[in-house]
Amino acid sequence: MSQRRTFFEQVNAGFDRAVAMTDHDPRLLTQIRECNSVYHVTFPIKRDDGSIEAIHAWRAEHSHHKLPTKGGIRYSEHVNEDEVKALAALMTYKCAIVDVPFGGAKGGVKIDPRKYSVRELERITRRFTYELKNKHFIGPGVDVPAPDLGTGPREMAWIVDTYNSLSSGELNSLACVTGKPVALGGIRGRTEATGRGVFFGIREVCSLEEDMKALGLATGVEGKRVVVQGLGNVGYYAARFLQENGAVLVGILEYEGAIASPKGLDLDGVVAHRKETGSILGFPGATDIPTSRDGLELDCDILVPAAIEQQITDENAPRVRAKIIAEAANGPTTFSADKIFRERGVLVIPDAYLNAGGVTVSYFEWVKNLSHLRFGRMQKRYQEASNLRILSAIENQTAKSFTEDEIEKFGRGAGEEDLVNSGLEETMALAYLQIREIKLRYGNRADLRTASFINAIDKIAWCYKDMGIFP
Ligand code: GLU
């Protein structure tokens, strides 16, 4: 049944389940649910061999209740209009959940980036940016793209450069896109941000003894057996921070298959092995699982789907053995798989909360670009000097004499990356408290996804109500 629902319908099914528990005006809910605008463009590009190819690209702006709209641009051969609308909707709810002042958007270019040369990718990116600018679908106060599947700082650099050349003299033009290289107005910590946010979210969830007890698990991340699907930017950093904090990586899934080891896999060892051999399979000491999707059913405490949407369906959900599903990807669990998990008492940490670290740090980057000032530049040395004065006062008043290491540790002022990571940690912790509070308020009726939707819908509804548009 559920497999016939499109991705956007899946997202809306989750939305509808949540709104049934609220008493907002149905007309207002329709306004929130619908996608406000979609731009579909087809443009020709010249391939390196001289042939011409028509490229399809989309940008969906789901909600204009706050501006600019925000969301990544993905390069994937599976991109279609329904997908960008679904992902744009998830961005709207995501931004509301973590209190980032944007509406949601998403873009997609229907290409497999591995089949194009760097020069071809540059031509495609610059042309798409031109089309977006032309139709008013990009700008610091309009719509601000970022990296997503198949794109990264390099593509963002081409976007900002193209935008700049089309709007010379626009003071805030650097803020037209986030996830840029640091030298071009990016921010330290953005690359790792989504994975770091995933870790912070999992850590928050695992820190509550009562909730862990209900799952038959010990409190804390340490010792938890984790399986990660996808070693892209999000999956890699989520796995890395989990491992650094004592979790045991018992399985890794990639396109070519999966590998498992109950004793734990060395993440960087696997990455190096894949670079050398072209595959994660055959990693020394691990068991090969040739069909990647079978890896989702490995015995573990936490399953982290960090690849693409609709990986866990009503077909495989009954066989998933994890007690916690940590949705690092957007939309990895279908609506009916979600129902199975609710019935089985599996805890799903929803995407719209868990992977919001990326857009949170994008927000910091956007603010940095608008303020034209690096975070920490004004305070770092001042803070350092006052910390050193306190340390020396302690030394003068007591017999204590600080070591060089202690002086370095206690004395240093916060730089950009420290502040970004601290702001991200605060955001993920606070948002989880809000969601959990709603979940408790609604008793057994609300799971974490429903509570996240209620949280987002309430916040968006208030914007319309405060404008006097709806009662
Ligand atoms: N593409 C990322 C996401 O899905 C980041 C979006 C952004 O930073 O605007 O959340």
DSSP string, 81-146: HHHHHHHHHHHHHHHHHTT-S-EEEEEEE-S-GGGS-HHHHHHHHHHHHHHHHHTT--BTTTEE--
The 8 Å CB, 24+ separation contacts for 409-412 are 411/384, 411/387, 412/384, 412/387
| pLDDT score recorded for residue 468 | 80
Weakest mean pLDDT among 68-72, 449-453, 461-465 = 461-465
Look at residue 78 and tell me if it is in a domain. Answer: yes
Alpha-carbon gap, residue 170 to 147, rounded angstroms: 23
362, 367, 420, 424: residue to mutate for ligand 1 pocket, most atoms within 8 A of CB: 362
Residue pLDDT, tens place only, 52-101: 999 999 999 999 999 999 999 999 999 999 999 999 999 999 999 999 99
CA–CA gap between residue 429 and residue 449 (Å, rounded): 16
pLDDT at 470 over 90: no
- 303-350 pLDDT, tens per residue? 999 999 999 999 999 999 999 999 999 999 999 999 999 999 999 999
| Mutation choice for ligand 1 from 75, 76, 91, 309, CB with most ligand atoms inside 8 A | 91
The whole-number average pLDDT for the span 201-205 is: 98
Give the model confidence (pLDDT) of 347-398 as tens digits: 999 999 999 999 999 999 999 999 999 999 999 999 999 999 999 999 999 9
The count of domains in the chain is 1
For the CA of 90, the closest atom of ligand 1 is 4
CA 359 – ligand 1 centroid, Å: 5
d(CA 342, CA 319): 14
Q: What is the pLDDT of residue 1?
A: 45
In this structure, the chain runs to a length of: 471
pLDDT band of 454, cuts 50, 70, 90 = very high
Angstrom distances, CA of residue 119 to CA of 47, 116, 163, 354: 9, 8, 18, 35
Residue 47, domain member (yes or no): yes
User: Which of 92, 151, 194, 233 to probe ligand 1 with, by most ligand atoms within 8 A of CB?
Assistant: 194
Which residue range(s) make up the domain with 82? Answer: 37-186
The answer to whether residue 64 is domain-embedded is yes
**pLDDT score, position 466:** 82
Between the CA of 69 and the centroid of ligand 1 the distance, in Å, is 11
Q: Are strands 257-260 and 248-254 parallel, antiparallel or unpaired?
A: antiparallel
Report yes or no on 106 lying in a domain: yes
- Of 159, 207, 209, 215, the closest CA to residue 185 belongs to 159
pLDDT in tens, 112-168: 999 999 999 999 999 999 999 999 999 999 999 999 999 999 999 999 999 999 998
The answer to whether residue 3 scores a pLDDT higher than 60 is: no
CA 38/CA 84 separation, integer angstroms: 9
pLDDT tier at 440 (50, 70, 90 boundaries)?
Answer: very high
Residue nearest to atom 8 of ligand 1 (CA): 359
Ligand 1 atom with the smallest distance to the CA of 74 is: 1
Please state whether the peptide bond connecting residue 68 to the residue before it is cis, i.e. omega within 30 degrees of 0. Answer: yes
CA distances to 170, 200, 237, 277, 353 from 364, rounded to whole Å, are 20, 17, 19, 38, 17
Residue nearest to atom 7 of ligand 1 (CA): 359
3-state secondary structure of 40: strand
Residue 2: per-residue pLDDT:
43
What integer is the mean pLDDT of 9-18?
96
Residues above pLDDT 90, as percent of the chain: 96
Atom of ligand 1 nearest to the CA of 145: 9
* Cα 357 to averaged position of ligand 1 atoms, centre (Å): 8
CA atoms within a 13 Å half-sphere pointing along the CA-CB vector of 379? 11
CA–centroid distance, residue 191 to ligand 1 (Å): 11
Beta pairing partners, 228: 252, 304
**Per-residue pLDDT at 465 exceeds 90:** no
Q: Which residues are catalytic?
A: 106
In the chain, the N- to C-terminal Cα span, in Å, equals 36
Q: How far is the CA of 454 from the centre of ligand 1 (A)?
A: 21
Dist. CA 24 → ligand 1 center (Å): 28
User: Domain for residue 437, yes or no?
Assistant: no
> Which residues lie with the beta carbon below 6 Å from any ligand 1 atom?
70-72, 146, 148, 178, 330, 355, 358-359, 362
Task: Supply the pLDDT for residue 416.
Answer: 98
β-bridge mates for residue 139, sequence order: 143
Q: Which atom of ligand 1 approaches the CA of 71 most closely?
A: 9
Closest ligand 1 atom to Cα of 149: 1
CATH of the domain at 128: 3.40.50.10860
Which residue's C-alpha comes closest to atom 9 of ligand 1? 71
